[in-house]
Amino acid sequence: QQQVKQSPQSLIVQKGGISIINCAYENTAFDYFPWYQQFPGKGPALLIAIRPDVSEKKEGRFTISFNKSAKQFSLHIMDSQPGDSATYFCAAKTGFQKLVFGTGTRLLVSP
Amino acid sequence: ETGVTQSPTHLIKTRGQQVTLRCSSQSGHNTVSWYQQALGQGPQFIFQYYREEENGRGNFPPRFSGLQFPNYSSELNVNALELDDSALYLCASSRGQGNAEAFFGQGTRLTVV
């Protein structure tokens, strides 16, 4: 019940396209859903986050869509750029800040 | 405002040895969490410290232990190293327990041979 399932495992998108990464969870106690971006050899960097009382949040080219009833949330990267090539992790939080991470999606944006 | 810094960046240890990893939290942050990230996996929660007290622990054995100091910096200690302990160890800090945003350091890459 503590798991967060993430798909796809890898994704190739052409420059200018839309990248979509999906996550699903079971624990309805989760109250915060962040997305992290990680480059090789670096720590995860907080990208964007949403709370379950909101269905969508947009920051620049990044949008989170949240479906509380389906217990799913997704990251959309509009106008994807080669510099967006990285591994993306969804996560969920419960209680005192323990983050439960998905397994990651390796995104490659081709020039 | 300084970010989260970890030291060392890389470390090679022999099986059975002990290791200490260090983390300086972001300015103004009093909560530090440690995560283990195996190659190709998502980070796994080890434990969290808030105001020098451990207040949460993941599914890791007692040979993983930690400390938080009055300046909110933190240490992760691992005894009796095993080959499977080879991973990227990440420290994250946040401002209090009610604030959800956690910011990660660059990690320490530990290799156990």
User: Tens of pLDDT along A32-70?
Assistant: 999 999 999 899 999 999 999 999 999 999 999 999 999
Contact A99 B31 (CB under 8 A): no
Instruction: State the average pLDDT for chain A.
Output: 94
Residues of A in CB contact (< 8 Å) with B are: 6, 31-32, 34, 36, 41-46, 49, 89, 91, 93, 95-104
Q: How confident is the model at residue B99 (pLDDT cuts 50, 70, 90)?
A: low
Integer Cα distance of A85 and A102 in angstroms = 18
Q: What is the pLDDT of residue A85?
A: 98
Of how many residues is chain A composed?
A: 111
Question: Tell me, what's the pLDDT at B98?
Answer: 59
pLDDT given for residue B87 in this prediction = 97
Quote the Cα angle for A46-B44-A100, to 5°. 60
B-chain residues near A104 (CB < 8 A): 40-42
Q: Which amino acid is at A42?
A: K
Reported as a single tens digit per residue, the pLDDT across B53-69 is 998 899 999 999 999 99
Which residue carries 């060392």 as its tokens? B8
Q: b/e map of B14-49 (b: 16 or more CB within 10 Å)?
A: eeeeebebbbbbbeebbbbbbbbbeeeebbbbbbbb
pLDDT, residue A49, reads 94
Average pLDDT, stretch B83-104?
87
CB atoms B45 and A99 under 8 Å? yes
Q: Is residue A4 predicted with pLDDT exceeding 70? A: yes
Q: What is the average per-residue pLDDT within B29-42?
A: 93
Query: In the prediction, which pLDDT does A9 show?
Result: 96
- Across the interface, do A102 and B42 touch by the CB < 8 Å criterion? yes
Confidence of residue B97 (pLDDT cuts 50, 70, 90): low
Q: What CA–CA distance (Å, rounded) separates B85 from B37?
A: 10
pLDDT given at position B51: 87
Q: CB–CB of B49/B31 below 8 Å?
A: yes
